[in-house]
Chains A and B, each alone.
Chain A
Amino acid sequence: MTRILKTAVAVACFLSFASISQAEEIKHFDKKGKPPSRHTIALHKEIQKSLPFNDRRDFEEFKRGFIAAPDYTQIKADDGQVAWDMGRYNFLNKKDAIYYSIHPSLLRQARLNMNYGLYEVLKDKIYQVRGFDLANITFVKGKTGWIIFDTGMSPETARAAYKLVTKHLGKREIVAVVHSHTHADHWGGVRGLIKEEDVRSGKIPIIVPGNFQKHVVSENVYAGNAMNRRMYYQYGTLLNASPYGHVDQAIGKNISRGNTGLIVPSREIFKDLEEITIDGLKMVFQLTPDTEAPAEMNTYFPEWKALWIAENIVNSIHNIYTLRGAALRDALNWSREINRTLYLFGQKAEVMFGSHHWPRWGNERIQEIMRVQRDIYANMNNQVLNLANQGSTINTIHNEFKVPQSLKNHWAARGYHGSVEHNVRGVVNKYLGYWDCNPTTLIPLSPAESAPLYVEMMGGADPIIKKGKELYTAGSYKLAMEILNKLVHAEPENQEAKDLLADVFEQLGYQQESPSVRNSFLAGAFELRNGIRQGNNVKTAGPDAIRAMSTELFLEYLGIRVDSSKAEGMQFTINLITPDNGEKLVIEMSNATLTVLKGFQAPKADLTITINRADLIDVMIQKTTLPQQIIQGKARLEGDPLILAKLQSTLIDFELNFEILPGTKVTKE
């Protein structure tokens, strides 16, 4: 061995040791937590070799145009709690530190999402504040003021972003706001930037895609409680920020926890392509419905050859199926809309910027990214259906579908926000539903019912735990999960079984490229070990969001709260009139079911409630109660008031911390 080679080996050994030791400096936040196993480390080393880490273009784009970072990492919410904290993720800033508890590709993405501060996108024209929320807040220069594209989720972080912009670029008024789509991380911060009266007076327009109001809350109401609970998993909302816990959220660092607000927009775009000039700036809005959101739009700035791509393109595969729970998205339509944008604007754009991640400069690069994103969604759709048409099912597709090699090697087609595995199952679900066509799985026993027989047939808990440990040691985590899951369902109080399943979940979590999937395994592990954790969850339905809810939607949600077993034999009809908006609705309880119909009235209702929509909203946002509105003369009842008591007696309040994994309903502060 030559001297140079010896030195190189020594340096390599030192670097390798240094990397591990840096990671080991950080203790696991859970006393039962385990470090990555040798199998996980080996897997990550293998991945490190197989992915194109030498393609550093994302990092160059990520830092391009950097102006300044604030001198703080924490933003407090108005109610005193921490709304945003980039400092929690400082461990990712340790240059070259390798954490084997994090998938190497995810570690790369997590570092890219550490961008924090003010960036110039287009000289003297477009700026972005990144890393202040899950989404970017974009400031576009009009003749006299700023046009804001997406506001982040919290007023507190939006306000801080505006302050940062003002500090470095000088004071300019906000003259318009554009919400690119209906998700809260794109409109929830609006109250931190502008005043509602300025929107009402027409001074500051809020421009949104058509049907924004309809979709802005509807996605999250009916199954809202279950979605919130599932957020603990997908978003790891209660996991510690740590190499062993939460490291990233794929499209940004995390969700902010401020006081999300919504101002009713003043202008909806309904034309497929609509040109508007605001503050001297010409913009072409392109509607892209049923893509990443039911109502979404891109914007092209022809004078600047700049393309705002909203959330239709990100540096990741997005969710076709959202683990938190949401309506399935249409991968083919998404691909089609990206393609349309490519042919409309993509071939002339010189800069493309969006609501997440960093911009792309140069038309060649823009077209490359657009084609990669277009193709990954189309490929998932087409190849899944190709395989499904040959017999693949929802229960096999994730093990059979393979991303084409050329896409696999492109960072923008990696499965961060939406893993390939869970998305392809989503595609099958969209077209064929959840059933794999095997009668065994059509009306199966519940896991708790079938598990005891499995456990009995396997000889009881002891041999299962013994085998589970063997499989864990061998790195066969999914097999270990199969048998331990049966045992935990059969014996929810068996802590040894739960701890072992948690160990298995944890290694599987460490091995995931997608933070959503990683968080889900790690949250499951935490709950198995410690019970369901209490804490502040993300606020999803502030008063503004509830105001946006139609009366029909609100009442239909009441129908979801009815416990049918308590409504057996009940029969009544209620007419509801809201004179100020001219709405009439009929509510019927029959066959232990509550139904709502807008635009009709029952001829002989048992009760008629007359209340202005404005006063009903005060009840909906829990500013007051219906009895108080009756007492104050704002609601009038005709007929039998006890009908309301009857209806109330059937309603249940959903508990957020319902059990997902057996034997975890132990609350710990």
Chain B
Amino acid sequence: MTQLEIKVKVSNVAPSVMKSILPFLLLIDGSSRVDDSSRAIACGYHVATPRFLNAPHPTTYVIAVALRKAADEKCLTLIDPKKNTTGYHGAVGKLMAFTQRFERVMQDLSPEGPSIGLSIVLVDVTLWSRIVIKDGKLKLQPHVEGAASGDVVVSTAESVLAAMLYGELSFQEAVARGLIHFEGPDIKVSHVKQLIASSIRPTNRISSIASQSGKPTLKQNASVAKLPRKR
């Protein structure tokens, strides 16, 4: 397996610049390990020719309808594919940010929790990724072939992920609106839901850490960069 563990010092980068380069930097940020070995051939970003009725997961159409409804009701800002310049890297960046939040929350909630695999599919961009939680550590494998056997399958959209990260949308509302779906054994699903719910809860923990250490790490900077509402 190829593990990308390159550390980048970006402490002097302005927050506005940081936001635009964030997705790319997160891809090589070693703060959460990125396993790039199982890069799939067939994802929406790398294949220019997705096929008709080739949704990555059965819930895709349901989530697509829910996304439209949420956008129409002004509860969600959709990512416009025509204006989305960061593409694949942007999606992976959001997954990375999500993973980082998990990691923090896990340390708070259940550092010795069960080993869980999460197969996450972003249905709007047809991107499968996997987060493995083992011994209190997280490993993100972006761009995998599909759901791994035994995993909890989380299906949602890049827009939903962004909205939750930016504090525009609560986890509870995302679930209630059918914007995020879970599949797997109840106990595991419940654990994952708890993790996500805690991860995206608005918190000032990041800024307080930053103020304590003086020099923010990339991880902290990334999170800070994501806090403003995306328009």
Contacts and interface: CB of A to CB of B under 8 A. Distances in A.
Interface of A: 554, 558, 619-620, 622, 624-628, 630-633, 637, 641-642, 644-645, 647-649, 651, 653
Interface stretch (B48-56, B140-148, B195-203, B216-224): B48-56
Query: Across chains A and B, which 3 residue pairs bring their CB atoms closest together, nearest first?
Result: A645-B58, A641-B61, A630-B64
Given A633-B72, A642-B58, A645-B59, A626 B53 contact: yes
A290 B193 CA distance: 64
Contact of B126 (A558, A625, A631, A637): A625
Residue among A620, A624, A630 facing the most chain B CB atoms (10 A cut-off): A630
Given A627-B124, A645-B61, A648-B55, 7 more contacts: A622-B49, A622-B50, A626-B52, A628-B81, A637-B61, A642-B58, A653-B51
B65 interface: yes
Contact of A627 (B48, B78, B123): B123
A484 B71 CA distance: 66
A653 B62 CA distance: 23
A628 B44 CA distance: 11
A545 B78 CA distance: 32
Given A642-B62, A645-B58, A625 B44 contact: yes
A554 B52 CA distance: 10
Nearest to A644: B61
Interface in B32-89: 44, 48-55, 58-65, 67-68, 71-72, 78, 81
B49 A627 contact: no
23 contacts: A625-B44, A625-B52, A625-B126, A626-B52, A627-B55, A627-B61, A630-B65, A631-B64, A631-B71, A631-B78, A631-B124, A631-B159, A633-B72, A641-B61, A641-B64, A641-B65, A644-B61, A645-B55, A647-B53, A648-B53, A648-B55, A649-B58, A651-B53
Contacts of B64: 626-628, 630-631, 641
Contacts of A645: 55, 58-62
Which interface class (under 10, 10 to 19, 20 to 34, 35 or more) fits B? 20 to 34
B67 A631 contact: yes
Contacts of A628: 64, 81, 124
A622 B62 CA distance: 21
A554 B51 CA distance: 13
Contact of B51 (A622, A641, A649): A622
Nearest to B44: A625
Contacts of B71: 631, 633
A648 B124 contact: no
Interface string B186-220: 00000000000000000000000000000000000
A620 B52 contact: yes
Residue among B53, B58, B65, B71 facing the most chain A CB atoms (10 A cut-off): B53
A647 B62 CA distance: 14
Residue among B50, B64, B71 facing the most chain A CB atoms (10 A cut-off): B64
Contacts of B50: 622, 624-625
Contacts of B123: 627
A326 to B, nearest CB: 25
B78 A648 contact: no
A628 B82 CA distance: 11
Contacts of A631: 64, 67-68, 71, 78, 124, 157, 159
Contact of B68 (A624, A633, A648): A633
A558 B53 contact: yes
